[in-house]
Amino acid sequence: MRQLSPGLFLVLVAFTIPLAVEFRTVAGFFGFDLPFISMILFEVVLLAILTGVYVLGRLTPDEDTATTS
């Protein structure tokens, strides 16, 4: 698993927000009217995935990628 730097992790967290905010608009285009809560749930799922990748990368540093600052 590739190791994410804390800085990159924070930036990726920032990127999930426009995805989550516009997720409902995209669904609206296809005729699905999702409730407001779905936006929050979607954001939570994205954050969970990101956190998972981050933690796994920290736990299994299979190669020396620590040069990434």
Partner 1 sequence: MATFVDRYPDEAKVVQASFAVAFIALGIGAFFGLIQALHRTNILRVIDSVDYYTLLTAHGVLLALVFTIFFLVGVFTWAIAKGFERPLPDIRLTWAWFGLMTTGTVLTAVAILAGLVPEIPMSADVLYTFYAPLEAHPAFYIGLAMFIVGTWMAGADWFLAYRDWRGDNPDERIPLQPFMVLTTMIMWYVSTLGVAVAVVFFLIPWSLGLIETVNPLLTRTLFWYFGHPVVYFWLMPAYLLWYTVLPKLAGGRLFSDPLARVVFVLFVLLSTPVGIHHQYVDPGIAEGFKFIAMTNTMFLLLPSLLTAFTVVASVEHGARQRGGEGYLSWLGALPWRDPAFAGMALAGLMFAAGGFSGMVNAGMNINYLVHNTLWVPGHFHMTVGTAVALTMMAGTYWLLPQITGKTVYSRPIGLFQVVLWFIGMVFMSNAMHRGGLLGIPRRTAEPQYQNFDFAAAVGSVGEIRMQIAFGGLLLFLSVVFFLFNVAATWAEDRVDTPVDDTIPAPLSPPSGAPLILDNLALWTGIAVVLVVLAYTLPLASIVTDSGLLGSSPGFPVAISLEALAEAAASALPHVSLDAAAGLRPLDVAAEAAETLEVSR
With CB under 8 A as the contact rule, the residue among 10, 40, 44, 49 that binds partner 1 is 10
Smaller CB separation from partner 1, 59 or 66: 66
50 burial via Cβ count (<10 Å: 0-12, 13-18, 19+)? middle
- For residue 11, give both structure tokens: 């930036």
Q: Does 44 bind partner 1 (CB under 8 A)?
A: no
Which of residues 1, 4, 42, 44 is near partner 1 by CB under 8 A? 4
| Residues 13 and 50 sit within 8 Å (Cβ to Cβ) | yes
**Distance from chain centroid for Cα 12:** 6
Give the interface with partner 1 as residue ranges (CB under 8 A).
2, 4-8, 10-11, 13-14, 17-18, 21-22, 24-25, 28, 33, 36, 67-69
